[in-house]
Amino acid sequence: MFGAEDSGDTSGYGRLVVRDTSPIRGSSTPRPWDDEFEQLGDEVGTALEQAGLGDDVIEKVIVDRGQMTFFIKRERLAEAVRVFRDDPALRFEMCLGVNGIHYPHEEGRELHACYQLLSITHNRRVTLESVCPDEDPHLPTVTETYPSANWHERETYDFFGIIFDGHPALTRIEMPDDWPGHPQRKDYPLGGIPVEYKGATIPPPDERRAYH
């Protein structure tokens, strides 16, 4: 099922392979890429150089499944996103979302934040990804450049515990303020968590409404 024809895979994943996101073990996708990605890669390099950021910004570039991802060093993230927005050759005017990922096996790089950018001017998309360790879960906010990232950063903080330095109001957005832990991390327990219903009562199962 799901495209697996002869592997005997009944998991539904059809030989899906998890990519290695660590620049220590992995490396950038070797060039040449597709023409559109070749052009974008050259334009990004030129734009960063013209902005005075040089080579000290990008860790690696992954081109996979029709998507291009630039891994940005967290110390330069706020500067880099401004270049992606303002450079005429790039002009990624919109940040569509901020997503957290937890890789507990990547020592020193456990927490990832992915930023989906859209260029209306050039009709193309790109993903930026930045990482931080569990012991220092801090990334700079991008809300000054992309105000639309405000709630997305709050959600990533709420569910993964990434602290976005400089955010105007970094508070939980879905879980209660006093909720312990961050529910979408891989080390969060899957069950057996006591839940407190404030101002409400839950009847026992045999007293709840049944439909026949």
Contact of 157 with 181, CB cutoff 8 Å: no
pTM flag (> 0.85): no
Q: Which one-letter amino acid corresponds to residue 29? A: T
**For residue 32, cis peptide bond before it (omega within 30 degrees of 0):** yes
Q: Give me the pLDDT at residue 90, please.
A: 97
Distances (CA, A) of 133 to 61, 69, 109: 20, 20, 5
3-state helix/strand/coil string of 57-96 = CEEEEEEECCEEEEEECHHHHHHHHHHHHHCCCCCCCEEE
**Which neighbouring-strand residues pair with 72?**
58
Token pair listed for 92: 């990624």
pLDDT at 1 over 50: no
pLDDT digits (tens, 9 = 90+) for 104-134: 999 999 999 999 999 999 999 999 999 999 9
What's residue 180's pLDDT?
86
* Choice between 2 and 111, residue whose per-residue pLDDT is larger: 111
Residue 194 confidence (pLDDT) above 70:
no
Least confident of 95-104, 167-176, 201-210: 201-210
Residue-wise pLDDT for 137-161, tens only, equals 999 999 999 999 999 999 999 999 9
Indicate the pLDDT class of residue 189, thresholds 50, 70 and 90: confident
- Enter the tokens of residue 57: 């910004």
The CATH number of 35-189, from 3.30.460.80, 3.40.50.720, 3.40.50.300, 3.40.190.10, is 3.30.460.80
Ordered DSSP codes for the chain: -TT-SSS---SSSTT-------TTT--PPPSP--HHHHHHHHHHHHHHHHTT-TTSSEEEEEEETTEEEEEE-GGGHHHHHHHHHH-TTT---EEEEEEEEE-TTSTT--EEEEEEEEETTTTEEEEEEEEE-TTS-EEE--TTT-GGGHHHHHHHHHHH--EEET-TT---SSS-TT--S-TTSTTS-SS------TT-----GGGS----
Cα–Cα distance measured from residue 58 to residue 70, given in angstroms and rounded to the nearest whole number: 7
Domain ranges of the chain: 35-189
